[in-house]
Amino acid sequence: MFHRSVRSLCAMGVGAGLAFAGTSEFLVRETHALAQEQKASERHKVLIVGGGTAGTTLANQIVNKGKIAQNEIAIVEPSSVHYYQPSWTMVAAGLYRKEAS
């Protein structure tokens, strides 16, 4: 299945995606309602552009470290729904063919 070394995957940033691939679902559910309530004039300590797998995983990691509260993070995302398909990150990394995903 994998034809690249772990070192080359980590160099491409794929290791982080694999390690935290399942952690973003929590934040997607929790922030969906919260995002509707936010006003453009509010201030946040952290701004994350992109609410896909990487953006929501990053926000989740920051909150889990306990240094920043969830309401101090803003995620800018034009889509109202996040679709997560595990193999899409593998296709982008060249590990799977698009047709096999």
List the chain domain ranges.
1-22+84-101, 24-83
pLDDT at 35: 53
pLDDT at 78: 87
Chunked into runs of 10 residues, the chain (101 residues) has average pLDDT values of 44 45 45 54 87 87 91 88 76 84 72
pLDDT at 36: 54
pLDDT at 38: 56
Give dist(CA 73, CA 15) in Å, integer.
Answer: 24
The DSSP symbol for 23 reads S
